[in-house]
Structure 1
Amino acid sequence: MSRLMKRFATAPAPPVAARELTAVSADGSRLHVEVHGPDGAPAVVLAHGWSCSTHFWAAQIRELAADHRVVAYDQRGHGRTPAVAKAGHSTEALADDLEAVLATALEPGERAVLAGHSMGGMTLMAAASRPKFAEHAAAALLCSTGSSRLVAESLVVPMRAGGFRTRLTGAILGSRAPLGPVTPVSRKILRYATMGPGTAPERVAECARIVHACPRPTRVAWAHVLAELDLDAGVREMRLPTAVVAGTADRLTPIVHARALAASLPECVRLVELAGTGHMTPVEAPEAVTAEIRKLVGAHLGKDAPGRQDTGRQDTRTKLEENA
């Protein structure tokens, strides 16, 4: 076995949950929920993105579970959460699901920091005006995400912006072609489309295993929802301290989305731009993403956390060291 193959084979296994729960959404859909870390610790809720699963947050769970209670769940049709009928794919359904997870995993009135990557961030935007969101969300992290014009702004297809590029991008992202097993070629394609050029090979392999495990019908159905996404109004409803993290080499949700979010959010506390990082920030730059979650917990859930009136807006552009 080559040295590179050994690195792939010895990748850390996903963390084992302390407890597993089932949340029941408004339409009866059952969601797989995992709880990590000690009871009574500050709570963090993680929502993964399109074609991923709770395994996507493995690095954050390992680091945070030592002194946080970390709740992660599989979006409908992903991971261990069953697939749903065609009508069950919508941003309203994503918001319903998040409300169900918050009600199931947290005590009444308990506050948490909510972090969403890509479609998970869109889930937070969709739920921003919901009662359970207001009850439980102390602060939020929007990670590598956008609120509208996802296909039109995508840089996956390397050509000038316009109608043809938009149609071609939509056809590629919504393709029904099976991904099949992970191969060297598929890793290269995934790396080009979703990760920065300097991403370590083992992190590319980790993302490939997660994405290729997503069932094709789920991947296609949600691609169509994201192509029509318009959550600009939801951004304006996020009236809580919110940090935005994005990679400057993101082709799926380019940095223009992060900057637009930071400008539109009522209480943006920080914009962090990770130089050379692509779309898969929690895997590509796990230390940076985990640090942002810890900052939000310390500022808004800690014993000495100031009130919202003390949160100030600042923009931070952080250079991520290659292969950090």
Structure 2
Amino acid sequence: MSRLTHVTAGRYAPPAARRELVAESADGARLHVEVHGDEGAPAVVLAHGWTCSTAFWAAQIRELAGDHRVIAYDQRGHGRSPAARTHSTTALADDLVAVLGAALAPGERAVVAGHSMGGMTIMAAAARPEFTEHAAAALLCSTGSGRLVAESRVLPLRPGRARTRLTGAVLGARAPLGPVTPVARKILKYATMGPGSAPDKVEACARIVHACPTRVRHAWSQVLAGVDLDADVARLTVPTAVIGGTHDRLTPLVHARRLAAALPNCVGLTELTGMGHMTPIEAPEAVTTAVRELTSLYLDQKEKSL
């Protein structure tokens, strides 16, 4: 019945940061930022999704920090970033460029990876000059640019208005999630993860998701219900890889395939068999490998030596 915000042991327990800082967004929102690894290493920036936190990237941080500088931040209202008045894709873009400016040197470039709402953050920021300055490549994990509620398969109903309306009501519910119980784990696993997800992965996801404040969860659900970033996808010109799970009910594989087709510079689409929506936890090696490949290909030796 614990309300722990993350697991405290195993590969999904968040490692201690080398240093922490606060980035201030355009509207004054303050964002908790963690930096892991050596200052001279190639940089990776991680943006988590709806109801998650920096803890969601624990496996990637643990593996990458040995030879990368990993920068992870809590989206506004999530984790250790205080709640803010504004909830919009514009605010998400503002927050990402604020983090890039606070954590990277002028002109320094990084691979930027986003999961779910974090991927939408990258799309929303694609045309910003600050993003162009700092992003060498991008990774979009389990995300989409629009029609999120209409194409969600969380409810086992036929596609149509009724399913869309009911899905919106479920995802946007104001009711607290409550403590992590056996029933809560089963519900979360069904809705967000593949059927073969191991108990430690389910537990890690449940602790993180259930720690998200109810008001924050509801506010962002309203934003996601109306997301339309198709035009922004066309502006994401950096080399971009896409990852999706074949059993993703929240952002089904149709989203990943659509992104891969629409991106101006897609450098790969990986379809993870049997995986659900929580790919960085469900398939940590695949996500970490994708980040490593992007840093190897698109961060040149001069940038790696900064």
TM-score (normalizing by structure 2): 0.95
Of 129, 132, 157, which residue of structure 1 is paired with 2:130?
A: 132
Query: Could you tell me which residue of structure 2 aligns to residue 18 of structure 1?
Result: 18
The yes-or-no answer on 1:176 pairing with 2:174 is yes
- Count residues in correspondence: 296
Q: What is the match of residue 35 of structure 2?
A: 35
**Structure 1 CA distance for aligned equivalents of residues 246 and 120 of structure 2:** 19
User: Who is 1:89 aligned against?
Assistant: 87
Counterparts of 1:1-324 in structure 2, within 5 Å, are 10-12=9-11, 13-85=13-85, 88-303=86-301
**Superposition CA RMSD, Å:** 1.1
Q: TM-score, normalised by structure 1?
A: 0.90
Give unmatched runs, 5+ long, in structure 2. 1-6
What secondary structure sits across from 2:71 in the alignment? strand
Query: Does the C-alpha gap of structure 1 residues 11 and 130 become closer, same or farther in structure 2, counting only changes over 3 Å?
Result: same
* Aligned equivalents of 1:229, 1:256: Cα separation in 2: 16
Whichever residue aligns with residue 227 of structure 1, its letter is: A
Q: CA deviation at 1:84?
A: 1.1
In 1, Cα distance between the equivalents of 2:201 and 2:262? 32
Divergent runs of 4+, >6 A: none
- Could you say which residue in structure 2 is the equivalent of 1:5? none
Determine the C-alpha separation between the residues in 2 that align with 1:253 and 1:123: 15
- CA distance in structure 1 between the aligned counterparts of 2:10 and 2:243, rounded to whole angstroms: 25
Tell me the equivalent position of 1:311: none
- Cα deviation per residue 1:193-212 (whole Å; 9 max; x = unaligned)? 00000001110000000000
What stretches of structure 1 of length at least 5 have no aligned partner?
A: 1-7, 306-324
Task: Please tell me the residue identity of whatever aligns with 1:11.
Answer: G
Q: Secondary structure at the match of 2:267?
A: strand
Q: Distance in 1 between matches of 2:262 and 2:103?
A: 30
- Name the amino acid aligned to 2:68: H
Shift, 1:10, TM fit: 4.1
Whether the aligned pair in 1 keeps the contact of 2:8 and 2:14 (CA below 8 Å) is: no
Question: For the Cα contact (< 8 Å) 2:14–2:58, is it kept in 1?
Answer: yes
How much has 1:303 moved relative to structure 2? 2.2
Question: After superposition, what is the alpha-carbon deviation per residue over 1:301-321, rounded to whole angstroms, capped at 9, x for unaligned?
Answer: 14299xxxxxxxxxxxxxxxx
Distance 1:63 1:186 in 2: 29
**Deviation string for 1:247-285 (max 9, x for gaps)?**
000000000000000000000000000000000000000
Q: Deviations over 1:107-127 (max 9, x none)?
A: 000000000000000000000
- Aligned partners of 1:175 and 1:116: how far apart in 2? 25
Query: In the alignment, residue 43 of structure 2 is paired with which amino acid?
Result: A
Residues 70 and 9 (structure 1), Cα distance of their counterparts in 2 relative to 1, 3 Å cut = closer
Matched-pair identity in %: 72
List per-residue Cα deviations over 1:46-92 (Å, max 9, x = no partner): 0000000000000000000000000000000000000012xx00000
Output the CA distance in 1 between the equivalents of 2:237 and 2:300.
20
* Bigger relative CO (Cα 8 Å, ≥ 6 apart): 2
Q: Distance in 2 between matches of 1:155 and 1:302?
A: 41
CA distance in 2, matches of 1:131, 1:27: 18
Partner SS, residue 237 of structure 1: coil
Q: Go from structure 1 to structure 2 and tell me whether the alpha carbon gap of 1:119 and 1:23 turns closer, same or farther (over 3 Å shift).
A: same
